[in-house]
Structure 1
Amino acid sequence: MSSTSYFTASSSSTPSSPQRIHDVFLSFRGEDTGFTFTDHLYKALVGRGIRTFRDGKIGRGEGVAPELLKVIEESRYSVIVFSENYAHSRRCLDELVKTMECQKDLGQAVIPIFYHVDPSNVRKQRGSFGEAFAGYEENWKDKIPRWRTALTGAANLPGWHLRHGQ
Structure 2
Amino acid sequence: MANSEASPLVPRFSFFSFTHPWKYHVFLSFRGEDTRNNFTAHLCSALRLRGINTFMDDELSRGEDISGELLQAIEKSKISIIVFSETYASSKWCLDELVKILECKESKKRLVRPVFYRVDPSHVRNVQGTFGEALANHERNSSVSSEKVQKWRTALNQAANLSGWTLLNQQSSEAQFINDIVQEISKHASLSLREQFVASPVATTLCLLFGLLFGLYFIGSMVYFFRYCYYFVPWREIFCELFCF
**Range into which the TM-score falls when normalised by the shorter chain:** 0.7 to 0.9
Moved over 3 A (4+): none
- Provide the residue aligned with 2:224 in structure 1: none
- Provide the residue aligned with 1:162 in structure 2: 167
Counterparts of 2:78 and 2:46, CA distance in 1: 17
- Provide the residue aligned with 2:151 in structure 1: 146
Give unpaired runs (5+ residues) of structure 2.
Answer: 1-19, 173-245
Alignment equivalent of 1:85, drawn from 84, 87, 97 = 87
TM-score with structure 2 length normalisation? 0.59
- Provide the residue aligned with 2:38 in structure 1: 36
Counterparts of 1:89 and 1:43, CA distance in 2: 24
Counterparts of 1:20 and 1:157, CA distance in 2: 22
Share of identical aligned residues, percent?
53
Q: Which has the larger radius of gyration?
A: 2
Counterparts of 2:97 and 2:109, CA distance in 1: 16
Are 2:50 and 1:52 aligned?
no
Q: Is the 8 A contact 1:62 1:89 kept in 2?
A: no
Counterparts of 2:70 and 2:107, CA distance in 1: 17
* CA-atom RMSD in angstroms: 1.1
Greater share of strand: 1
Equivalent positions of 1:67-78 (< 5 A) are 67-78=69-80
1:125 counterpart SS class = coil
2:82 counterpart SS class = strand
- Provide the residue aligned with 1:14 in structure 2: none
Give unpaired runs (5+ residues) of structure 1.
Answer: 1-17
